[in-house]
Amino acid sequence: TVTTVTVPEAVRTALSLARQHRADDRSSDAIAALHLALADRPDELSLQTSLAMSWARALLFEGRVGVDDPERVMGATRDAVPVGVELLRAVLSLLQGEPAQATDPLRRARRLVDKVSAQDRDELKVLVHFTAALVHRALGQRDRAIRELKKSRARLRGRPSAALSQRMVRIGAELYLAQDRPFDAESWIVELHELGVQRGEDETAPGGADATSGEANREAEARGSATHKSESAASAKAPGRGAAAKGQVRAQQVDAVDLSPIARAYLAIAAGVRGDAQRSASLLSTLPADGEWAWAHARVALVEMRGAAAARHALTAMSVRSEDPETLRLWALSEFAARQER
């Protein structure tokens, strides 16, 4: 006998609205909508899972929110939605500067994620794998961080939100650049761009993004995991060859106008690292040097060993993001490089 579970219309509406808000990087609105629905149905598991995902996105991508307190959310869902609780615990540990404390909650979340509804499963896996990538990065485990980031990308359904896409570009590029793998950084950025374009086209096709099968996503995840070690080995043995070289070719073929500013910034840095000053300058010319993107100009000048220019741009970046530790570090390195030139 097959048991059919009927989801009340009010719950369906709240879940759909929350998903749309999260896709639009409006997790605070998703949280508000879910709290309203939970007031009438406090034990509804799907609502609580959606609430946990909304909190995770708000904390990871939107910085701060003005609805409720994560600790209270965790207390309210402790017994009902363990996977959501574990995800939130991991996120909070990471943001509190204790990434090692996030590993156990993430391990438990992985074991529980397949128990949630099919509609939420892929989004939840995106968040679990992305959080794991950030944790491994904070622990200095770059290869594992890259592997988790690829798994997160493989679970995406539909066009990724702007905030998630930007963070994926930034984290992936930084991981590859930290390993002196500029070709792989370029490939990662272009693949994310192409994925966004492809998924955008899928959403306008008959059936929309939901026509993408979960099985296809699982196959993509398996491919990403299986090829990670071989890609790393190939990059170490022959930088610039194979898939990485193809990524470079695609990066040069993509029109800069079609790319997001963050993608252009990191492609410029990667080009600078591999010595292509002309390509780097072309990409930087699309980003203003006197404001939000001064840090990118400083990074390129630094890798090209133009210390005075790097220091000038870094000082501008400090005026925009004076509280950012990475910007402060960039300024210090640029000042040191400038002094070395004197």
Nearest to 143 by CA among 151, 153, 133, 152: 133
Q: Spell 152-176 as b/e; 16+ CB within 10 A means b.
A: bbbbbbbbbbebbbbbbbebbbbbb
Alpha carbons 46 and 136: distance in angstroms, whole number: 29
pLDDT higher than 90, residue 281: yes
Per the CB < 8 A criterion, the answer to whether 128 and 87 are in contact is yes
Cβ neighbours around 261 below 10 Å, total: 16
d(Cα 117, Cα 120) in Å, to the nearest integer?
A: 6
Average pLDDT on 255-262 reads 81
Question: CB of 330 within 8 A of CB of 311?
Answer: no
Most confident residue range from 83-87, 99-103, 191-195, 204-208: 99-103
Listed range (19-33, 143-157, 227-241) with the worst mean pLDDT = 227-241
Provide the whole-model pTM: 0.82
Residues 76 and 313: their CA atoms lie apart, in Å, by 48
Residue 62: its H or E element: none
Token pair 């990667």: residue: 270
CA 203 to chain CA mean position, Å: 21
